[in-house]
Amino acid sequence: MAVLKAEKRAGLGTHKTRALRSQGATPCIIYGHGLDPVAVSVSTHDLGAALEHGERLLELEMGGEKENVLIKDVQYDPFGQSILHADLARVDLNERVKVTVPIVLTGTPAGATEGGVLQQTVAEARIECVVVAIPEDIRVRVNDLKVGDIVHMRDLQLPEGAPLLEDPEMVVASVVVIAEEVAAPAAAGEEVAEPEVLTAKPEPEEEAEGGKKE
């Protein structure tokens, strides 16, 4: 469990949050367990490092006290590079929570030798588990998949005591052959229209009927 230091925010608003970010801090909100929400800030570097290591559970130190929180939501800039804000939910280490976990496909499918392509249609799954047992990801080995084989949600190997909260028949990944589009040949006897020549000069207009020649 990552340990982060937090400080209460003295003020809210766009100006204040921009000032925090310029100082290397990320504005956050702590809520849950029937207590009032608290606006705090944490080190952007430390929060980013925790996220990179797949940490979901944090221990916050603030004002000489500690409390456990779960990272519920993180907002990034439009380019997905900089952290703008985080929502942190108070939790007890023994309670069960509902979380969304990334699905990671590993290996190369056997069907690749037959021209098959691995397609992942779902990138994450919701499960319920104890706070201290939240997995970093759910890994699926695809080495044995042949063309036409499908991985459903029910096929995922979940941690013990962590039920799936998704439709078990939902397709996670499959191996398919992607057909190339080929232009259909012209039917026998069918004339192929010649391309229009845009640079050709127009023919001079015929003299109007009954007109005089100069």
Q: For 114-165, how does the pLDDT look when each residue is reduced to its tens digit (9 = 90+)? A: 999 999 999 999 999 999 899 989 999 999 999 999 999 999 999 999 999 9
* pLDDT at residue 4 in the model: 93
Q: Of 32, 22, 25, which Cα lies nearest the Cα of 9?
A: 25
Residue 141 and residue 67 share a domain: no
Could you say which of 91, 125, 154 is where a domain stops?
91
Query: Using one digit for the tens of pLDDT, what is the confidence trace for 11-38?
Result: 777 888 888 889 999 999 999 999 999 9
**Domain boundary residue among 91, 111, 128?**
91
Question: In this structure, are 17 and 44 located in the same domain?
Answer: yes
pLDDT at res. 188: 57
* Cβ burial 176-208 (10 Å sphere, 16+ → b, else e): eeeeeeeeeeeeeeeeeeeeeeeeeeeeeeeee
Residue-level pLDDT at 63: 87
Structure tokens at 184: 């259909």
Residue-level pLDDT at 213: 46
Digit-coded pLDDT (tens) for 172-206 = 999 999 876 555 565 555 565 555 555 555 555 54
40 and 67, same domain (yes or no): yes
Residues 76 and 116 both lie in one domain: no
Q: Which residue has 């929060």 as its token pair?
A: 47
Query: Is 117 within a domain?
Result: yes
User: What is the model's pLDDT at position 20?
Assistant: 87
- Establish if 181 belongs to a structural domain: no
Please indicate, yes or no, if residue 210 is contained in any of the structural domains.
Answer: no
Q: Which residue range forms the structural domain that includes residue 25?
A: 2-91
pLDDT at 85 over 70: yes
Rounded-to-integer distance, Cα 66 and Cα 70, Å: 13
**Last residue of some domain: 91, 118, 138?**
91
- Please write down the long-range contacts of 47-50, taking CB distance under 8 Å and 24 or more positions apart: 47/4, 47/83, 47/86, 48/83, 49/2, 50/2, 50/4
pLDDT at 53: 87
Is 112 part of any domain? Answer: yes
Cα(first)–Cα(last) distance of the chain, in Å? 100
Which residues make Cβ contacts (< 8 Å) with residue 10, sequence separation at least 6?
A: 16
Q: Are residues 83 and 102 in the same domain?
A: no
Q: CA 125 → CA 34, 87, 122, 138, 166, distances in Å?
A: 28, 20, 8, 8, 7
CATH of residue 32: 2.40.240.10
3-class SS at 111? helix
pLDDT reported for residue 11? 72
Please check whether residue 39 is in contact with residue 23, taking contact to mean a CB–CB distance below 8 angstroms. no
Is residue 208 domain-resident? no
The distance of Cα 213 from the centroid of its chain, to the nearest Å, equals 77
**How many domains does one find in the chain?**
2
Question: pLDDT at residue 9 above 90?
Answer: no
Is 200 domain-assigned?
A: no
Distance CA 5, CA 25 (A): 11
Q: What is the CATH number of the domain that holds 134?
A: 2.170.120.20
Q: Are residues 106 and 146 in the same domain?
A: yes
Q: Is the dihedral of CA 205, 206, 212, 213 positive or negative?
A: positive
Distance CA 156, CA 127 (A): 11
State residue 86's pLDDT score: 95
- For residue 135, the number of C-alpha atoms closer than 13 Å in the C-beta half-sphere is 22
